[in-house]
Structure 1
Amino acid sequence: MAVYDLVGEWTRLRGYVQSLWREVAYDDLNSAVAGAVSNVAISMIKKAASAMFVDYPGHDSYETVMKTITRGNPDKAQGMFSVALYSISPDKARKEKVKETHVDVKEQFMIHAYNDLRDFILDFQKTHSGKPTKRMLAELGNWDPKLNLQNASDEGRIKWRRSYTINWLYDLVNVFSSIVVQRNTMKGEKHDLSKVDWSVTGPWNKHCRLFGLNEFAGWVTTLAFQKPGTVDISSKILPHHVFGLQCIVDSLTVSRGWSLSGLRGHILTPPPRDFRPRRDVDLFLDRENKEFGRGYLQPVDILKQLFEKDDFLHGDFDRHRDDYIMLEGFQFDFVNWLGESKYMFGLTTIPPSRFSNSNANGLWEYSPFLCGVGLLDALELAYSSTLFLWDRIPEAVMLIHLHNMLVQKGYIQQPVGLYASLLGFFPGAFFADGKIPTSDFGKALVARMSGRETSPRAWNQRRRQAAQAASTHGILDTKGNLFFNVAKPCPVLLREADWDPERIPDADIPVNTLLAALRLKQTKIVTDHKTGEKKLEETELVRRTKSKLGADDKTLLQTASSLPMLGGGVNKMQAVPDFLRDVVPEGYKARWASETGKHRPNGTRQEEVPHKDLLEFIKWDVYRDICGDSPIMSLNMVWVTVQFFMVFMKIEGALEEAVNDLWLRAYKMDKKWAKQKRVGLTYMALLGADGAGEFDPDDVEECLEIMAEQFQNPRAGFMNHIYWKDLEEMFKRMERMERIASSRQKHHPADDACTVM
């Protein structure tokens, strides 16, 4: 029964993950969103299997699960399992079987994926050369990426998929192991490849060869380099490994119009006309500089020049050395290992790509999954590394303070979009306690600067924390920032929780998310001793929700009794309560549940949320951060940093030309600002706006007018520096998700109907 439950779970989740990648290919869903949700689905299978095998130690391999449910013979098991679709009357008094079909055991139980994975590992072990054996080569043949799957037979499609899978795994291991293999072949080092620690915590992880799939690649590589017969391969392949590979392979087949359903079997549709797996990766990088202001690579080069000018201005030619080394390192890794890799041009002593006959970059070009999780990894690194940079330089904070003062004093009539948006995303980073000042602007700057420890001791502590981190993500953890210690986007929280939403602490969950709404629903209901009324227990999440969203106990209790359902149009669903309007996507409803229910041993209410529903909630939270209405991870913050320096340079140039007294004091006369001239100018401008300081009012007026003019020359918009040039259209897609949900049901009707297996 335990095995049956696990198999049913991966069957349901596989169908959902297929629908995600269909949205990527056919409806332009950003592949990073699908990558994040797929990782959560894989984690769910891992967690479910681990929980089950606590009661059955030693029986945790995929092969044991497969042999148990098929009674030891998958061929004979064919015909033993069936799926039935029922039509149920509105009063649930009558039901009628609409359709029934036998389950394709090898397909739905992922036996094909397991066999391909096992056969690849065993074949690789025979030579450790990175090349298939002659016997395997004869079976693989020449894989044709343009095969018309609609015209192929079921057997032909399965053979085509097996050839792709094994070829892709060869490329994956060859790329991932290349750093150590070349140390042996080119430098004469003698690493025993069967004993190398290939894990993400191992010593070779600091050398980038891949983005987004390092854990899976490390696991496969570890088994592939074992000596034949020394390890029982079947015992090492766990259910979540097979499920993960199945998701990787399905991402390609779905993008070619081939998906699978337990009820309908092989579903074939024309492939999307213009879909490319690298579509979103290419927009992020913009290798050819087609979209000025958007791609990651170009602003790193521009920022280098601006750093050099700032070094000269302050007479310190090492001022930004470490900053640029960091950004240049990410730029180098993205160019060489994201979307494309050095492997496509040939790595010395490493066998060429198995896809060389069609595309030497096949590892990426033929894997929407790898492109999605790789992009997700890169987006986080770009985001956290720039916050790390902003924590070290004063320009970001200075400009936000100046912009706010100029708006408050009327020098800027309408807030400039970029700075207003940044303030909305990171209020606590720019002003003490997140309170935006309307006067006493100089004091606000001092309060912000003195609100955190900025001594050399604090910086040394930050460096020690970075040195102890196990990964680049750990080094850049925003919790270690002195100023930009900000709330983390949902994809970051999920990765830190090993893609298990339940492991995310309440303290870290943003209150305006569906995950927060779900946690509130699971919060214990207690009785207020003073009023006798029911309310939610005063957890940290409840306190933060009250504080940030202004909700009272009654509203919170009402909200906790409703579960957002992402599929509007059902008559029994009511309008979304005001409290959830910023959480539930426009056009969707909230279904009300009772305020009582089962309770966990710790007193919290147990709400059984099906994993498919939980994945849909997670999808929306991830979507908002990457390409939705709050797309902080899609903001090219390196380009924004370029804007910071450019605005200051224009202000400095105009003030110098006017021979403004505040500029003279900060840049020429007052030696205390010699190392931080822009801080000095900003502070004096803020003081002057307050009417404080020994400044001539005319000089202050002239300075503020020049600053206001340069802030608006031109007015910088938030949307100017978004990686995705069609993000505005993506906003509209949020309103079209009902159509996508209907499309999903059209192609996989059994997934959401009343189905019994």
Structure 2
Amino acid sequence: MADQNSYLRYKRDTRHLLYWMIHASNSIIKSTGPNAASITTNTTGQITVSSLVPMSKLIAEHVKPIPSTIYRIFQAVIDARKASHAVFQQLVSKTPDPEIEKSNISHRHFINGLTEAFEALGGKIWASEQKSGNKLADEEDLDAVIFTNAFSALNLGDSSNVGEEEDAESDDAGPSTVSFARPKKKSSKGKKGKGGKKLKAKKKPAEKEASIEDIPLESYRIIQDETGITTDYLMAVYSLIKQWAELRDYVQKLWHEVAYDGMNSAVGGAMSNVAIAMVKQTQSAIFVDFPGHDSYETVMNTITRGDPEKAQGMFQTSLHQVGPAGNVMKSQSTDVDVKEQFMIHAYQDLLDFITDFQANRSGKPTKRMLANIRDWDPKFDVRRASKDQRLKWRRAYTISWLYDLVNVYSAIVVQRNTMQGQHWVYNEVDWSVNGPWSQHRRLYGLNELASDITALAMQKPGTDIRKKILPHHVFQIQCIVDSMTVSRGWSLSNLRGHVLSAPAPAFRPRRDVDLFLDRENQRVGHGYIQAVDLLKQFFAKDAEIHGTPNRHTRTSDLLEEFQGELFRWLGESQYAHLLKTIEPSRFSNTNANGLWEYSPFLCGAGLAEALELAYSLNFWIWDRIPEPMCIIHLHNMLVKKGYIAKPVGLWDTLQAFFSNEFFAGGKIPDSDFSEGFLAVCSESGSRQATFQRRAISRNVARTAVDLHGALNMDANRFFKNKSLLRIYREAEWIPDRIPDDEVTMPSGLEAVRICKTKVITDPVTGKKVLEDTPITIKSRARGTTDEEMIELTSSLQHSGDDLSIPAEIRASIPEGYTYQTYKPSPLLEGTQLLDILKRDMVNDISGEGHPLSSLNYTFVTCRMMMMFTMIENRLQDRRNHLWTRAYEEEPRMMREKRVSLTALVLAGEDEECMQVIADVFQDQRCGWMTHIYWEGLEELNKTWGDIQKDQDAPPSCNVM
């Protein structure tokens, strides 16, 4: 995901280009002899711009044809430099800056050198062929082109020398092609092993010659002077800021959907987490090249030259709309509000808060700050206010909310000092989420951010923490604040600036949190709090039936503890009612629970975390009680045998969603029901499976620091199916880190992975097929053909060729503001990727398709327990012989009475028993909707076809 950033794409393209060119020239030199070439073999992976020209000439002379992909990458590198150069020319056009002007000279020299090398390679001829419509093959595989040495198949003379330096053949290469050894990262570990001492006794071998094969891909780069490095940093920070603007705009739209369109706030929270993870991942990838220059302040001083006021007017956003016939219908541009768009207001508010908090570290604002933020009005009408008034109102909210955030997060330590007389030194406390205080839950959804901000705020007065405020901190604070202002009718448009409208009617940030918890038990069968109370009662009754008082003690205790945490810390906090020894909420004049009541973001992110934990805890419970497995197997048998004419919706849906959990290999039996019941137990009860689970359990016990870790579903015996929320959290909200075998199918992420799968030619049939991956294998097993998957790839990916833009549009875009020509996949990047992934998240949380996280499994467990109680009572009244065997006669069976009864029913032909059980199922008919947390599920209106239609609409380009 990280290379979706323009600077990171530039870095990637540069490395790929240099890798191919250096290996190509090295192969030519070795084949033709050192005296025949004007340049020497490259063994470092590093090259100057001036050296690219003779290298290009050498390659053009010996390699024919040059792969079209190489030209495209080369052109993309040049276009990226041109785009940045145009921006920085604009920066100094109004306000001269010697440093940027010097950088621009270096920039232009760099672009000229790249262009000369491109033309020497034959790029000018290639480009003219592209314009005339005589396009070269586009469908080249990137890896095959970059990492496969096909030069031995060309007219290079004897290729034996080339083969000596390669160590692996490409799967796709023909018999006469040899693969480059794909570069690997160097290991930091020394070589160890048996015989190490004997090796020392041997004669010291001759020193190995420097080889390009030892150079990792990350080390390939164009050598620049100090000015060039500065230029690269300018490119990097500019690309980062563009990404912030795009993602901020997307996150604002998320919260608009939550407030105005009723989208579940957990979806908003989860997708905001993904956007924030994008920023974190990008900044990590970028700033590895610029150590010590990764703080938000350094980035902002660089892009504004240290003066945001003077920077105003230096940046513009332009919109070009194209009609159906390709004609320009409208062109519009506007100055960017630098302080707003670059999040300078949010940064300054955060910095001022931390400075003010440090002044006394009591959790109470200084008098000066208090005078500026007191009496914040949640009903402030943004439409009737001036811009300055709106900014002051938002600043008061931001600082007040941050005070509440830190006071709640630090409360446990503060109370130890104020109430118990302990002497914790605040600036020395480990405030991290995995630190010694992590066992004390304080916030849902924002513990990590709260820990970072608290650690900064608790430093000694006057401590300069500006270098420790990173871009993702500011971006997340901005998203939190935006979620509130958007709900009040104030948002920011990249083109229109500040957009004002009426507040969302009757919207409450806690809307979905309250539905989930249902503290007042207003919707029986739906709320989590009531479900836990009932389930504990059923467990107590079950323990009594089995004569084992401690049968469910551990489970009930864990349920009660989790229920208490939710009650105290989700949607509300002890801060509002119980924490009397710390400073009152800054929102006390309107709502002492303002931390939650005025933050849609906190409510959404907190709810997403709570849903994940509730799901994982329930499956931890199901893995330890027999009722879920018994109910599903009994229901399946009674349906297949005709005792239940129409499947009961809830059990039938659970059976479909979790077939791999309830049945061995996911195969639902139509007969031999007893064998099917035993098979699933045997499958997970093998010696190897048991050993693996025990090893995982020991690791969990050793390393888990919170409930997330303790509920590791990999340690479960039967129920390992993770919710999408858990999958994303374990991947740190970075979709690329989700393993293929955990991708939900069908899903948008599945489609994205398929689109990124290599298309190969089947050596037997000659047909185009997709490479085998866990995704494609499962898709085929589901009945999807390779042709259908390739068609999906074609529909979601399209060439970003600049030539597809109408001529009048190309003419209206300034030099440097061009579309990237190296086959990008717009649907698989940035905000368009987020839109695809959002469909999955809606589907999981509140959609009609596959809403695993919408179901109150705790209430479902209560229903299972209740049904067994009814079955037992009816069979006992009839003195059914299967019941008497399992419950009264055979001590071995009586250890697990319900499992024994289920096994007997599945194995026998007791008509009376099956009819009694079927009657209970019929009497207790219910569907999925009976126990969902929400008032309804959302319909996903768009299909993949609809998305493609959107992409075929007339294009528009947004240029910043």
Q: Which residue of 2 aligns with 1:388?
A: 620
Aligned twin of 1:618: 837
Matched, 1:648 2:648: no
Deviates more, 1:451-460 or 1:57-66: 451-460
Shift of 1:86: 2.4
> 2:431 corresponds to which residue?
198
Q: How does 1:129-168 map to 2 (within 5 A)?
A: 129-168=362-401
* Equivalent position amino acid for 1:501 in 2: P
Preserved contact between residue 731 and residue 738 of structure 2 (Cα < 8 Å): yes
Moved more, 163-172 or 446-455: 446-455
Helix, strand or coil at the partner of 1:204: coil
3-state SS in 2 of match to 1:731: coil
Match of 1:218 among 451, 454, 457: 451
* Aligned residue in 1 for 2:897: 677
Mapped pair 1:69 → 2:299: no
Change (3 A) 1:607 1:505: farther
**3-state secondary structure, aligned to 2:384:** coil
Which stretch shows the higher mean deviation, 447-456 or 378-387? 447-456
Q: Deviations over 1:413-446 (max 9, x none)?
A: 0011111011111101111111111111111111
Identify the residue that residue 692 of structure 1 maps to in structure 2. Answer: none
CA distance in 2: counterparts of 1:178 and 1:670, whole angstroms: 56
Match of 1:474 among 706, 709, 720: 709
Counterpart residue number, 1:52: 286
**What do the CA deviations read for 1:91-114 (whole angstroms, capped 9, x no partner)?**
54x546633221111101100000
Displacement of 1:64: 1.1
Of residues 99, 104, 121 in structure 1, which corresponds to 2:354? 121
CA distance in 1 between partners of 2:249 and 2:880 (Å): 67
Secondary structure of the corresponding residue to residue 439 of structure 1: coil
- The question of whether the paired residues in 2 share the 8 Å contact of 1:417 and 1:715 is answered with yes
Matches of 1:732 and 1:657, distance apart in 2:
48
Deviation at 1:81, TM superposition (A): 1.5
1:571 matched residue in structure 2: none
Q: Closer, same or farther in 2 for the Cα pair 1:558/1:753, shift >3 Å?
A: closer
Alignment-mate amino acid for residue 467 of structure 2: S
1:756 aligns with 2:955: no
SS of the aligned residue for 1:526 comes to: strand
SS at match of 1:266: strand
**Which residues of 2 match residues 207-606 of structure 1 at below 5 A?**
207-230=440-463, 232-453=464-685, 461=695, 463-467=697-701, 468-486=703-721, 488-547=722-781, 549-563=782-796
Do the aligned residues in 1 keep the contact of 2:797 with 2:825 (CA within 8 Å)? no
Counterpart of 2:866, as a letter, is: M
1:708 paired residue among 918, 939, 945: 918
Contact 2:489 2:500 in 1 (8 A): yes
For 1:47 and 1:308, locate their aligned partners in 2 and report how far apart those are by CA, in whole Å.
48
Q: Which residue of 2 aligns with 1:174?
A: 407
Q: Which moved more, 1:158-167 or 1:305-314?
A: 305-314
Letter in 1 for 2:958: T
Note if contact 1:452-1:483 (Cα within 8 Å) is conserved in structure 2.
yes
Amino acid at match of 1:112: H
Deviates more, 1:102-111 or 1:501-510: 501-510
Partners of 1:598 and 1:606 within 8 A in 2? no
Specify the alignment match of 2:254 in structure 1. 20
Matched-pair contact (CA < 8 Å) for 2:797–2:827 = no
Match of 1:657 among 877, 885, 893: 877
Q: Is the 8 A contact 1:462 1:481 kept in 2?
A: no
The residue identity in structure 1 corresponding to 2:292 is: G
Structure with max Cα Rg: 2
How many angstroms apart in 1 are the aligned matches of 2:826 and 2:508? Answer: 40
Residue from 236, 244, 249 that aligns with 1:2:
236
The DSSP-based 3-state class of the residue aligned with 1:84 is: strand
Alignment partner, residue 95 of structure 2: none
Which sits farther off after the overlay, 519-528 or 29-38? 519-528
* Cα deviation code 1:394-421 (max 9, x no counterpart): 0000011100010011000001111101
Tell me what 2:228 maps to.
Answer: none
The 3 A distance-change label for structure 1 pair 346 and 705 is: closer
Displacement of 1:608 in angstroms is: 7.2
Q: Distance between the aligned counterparts of 1:485 and 1:200, measured in 2?
A: 26
For the 8 Å contact 1:634–1:724, the answer to whether it is kept is yes
Once residues 553 and 263 of structure 1 are traced to their aligned partners in structure 2, the CA distance between those partners, rounded to angstroms, is: 42
Give the TM-score taking structure 1 as reference length: 0.89
- What is the CA-CA distance between 1:190 and the residue it aligns to? 2.3
Number of aligned pairs?
697
Partner in structure 1 of residue 245 of structure 2: 11
Is residue 522–residue 606 contact of structure 1 (8 Å, CA) maintained in 2?
no
- Taking a change above 3 Å as real, the CA distance of residues 466 and 50 of structure 1, as seen in their structure-2 partners, is closer
**Partner letter of residue 709 of structure 2?**
G
* Equivalent position amino acid for 1:612 in 2: T
User: Shift of the alpha carbon at 1:476?
Assistant: 0.9
Give the counterpart of 1:101 among 331, 334, 353. 334
1:668 aligned onto 2:888 = yes
Cα deviations by residue, 1:63-101 (Å, 9 ceiling, x for unpaired): 111111111100111111122222335454x54663322
Query: After the TM superposition, which of the residue ranges 69-78 and 345-354 deviates more from structure 2?
Result: 345-354
Cα separation, 2, equivalents of 1:755 and 1:170: 38
Report the equivalent of 2:807: none
Amino acid at match of 2:615: Y
Structure 2's unaligned 5+ residue stretches are 1-234, 799-820
Separation (CA, whole Å) in 2 of partners of 1:181 and 1:362? 21
Q: Which amino acid aligns with 1:686?
A: L
Displacement of 1:634 in angstroms is: 0.7
Are the structure 2 counterparts of residues 414 and 498 from structure 1 closer, same or farther at C-alpha, using a change threshold of 3 Å?
A: same
C-alpha distance 501-458 of structure 1, shift in aligned 2 (>3 A)? closer
The CA distance in 2 between the partners of 1:544 and 1:195, in whole Å, is: 51
Is residue 688 of structure 1 aligned with residue 898 of structure 2?
A: no
- Specify the code of the residue in structure 1 equivalent to 2:549: F
Over residues 578-600 of structure 1, what are the superposed CA-to-partner deviations in whole Å (9 max), with x where a residue is unaligned?
Answer: xxxxxxxxxxxxxxxxxxx969x
Query: Partners of 1:454 and 1:356 in 2: how far apart?
Result: 59
Gaps of 5+ in 1: 566-596, 600-604, 690-699, 743-749
Q: Distance in 1 between matches of 2:946 and 2:477?
A: 29
Does the CA contact (< 8 Å) of 1:514 and 1:564 recur in 2? Answer: no
Change (3 A) 1:621 1:167: same
Q: Summarize the Cα distance change of 1:493–1:564 in structure 2 as closer, same or farther, 3 Å threshold.
A: farther
Distance in structure 2 (CA, Å) of the matches to 1:435 and 1:248 = 46
Contact 2:693 2:714 in 1 (8 A): no
Shift of 1:474: 1.9
Q: 2:828 aligns with which of 609, 613, 630?
A: 609
Contact map agreement 2:555 2:621 (CA 8 A) in 1 = yes
Q: CA deviation at 1:738?
A: 8.8
Q: Tell me the CA shift for residue 471 of structure 1.
A: 2.9
Q: 1:523 to 1:458 in 2, by over 3 A?
A: closer
What does the per-residue CA deviation read over 1:477-500, in whole Å, with 9 as the maximum and x for residues that have no partner? 2211111022x2322221111111
Q: Cα gap change, 1:96/1:314 in structure 2, threshold over 3 Å: closer, same or farther?
A: closer
Higher relative contact order (CA 8 A, sep 6+): 1
In the alignment, the residues of structure 2 paired with residue 733 and residue 184 of structure 1 have an alpha-carbon distance, to the nearest angstrom, of 55
Q: Distance in 1 between matches of 2:472 and 2:632?
A: 47
Q: Secondary structure at the match of 1:203?
A: coil
SS of aligned partner of 2:332: strand
Measure, in 2, the Cα distance between the counterparts of 1:128 and 1:10: 32
Indicate conservation of the 8 Å contact 1:346/1:352, yes or no.
Answer: no
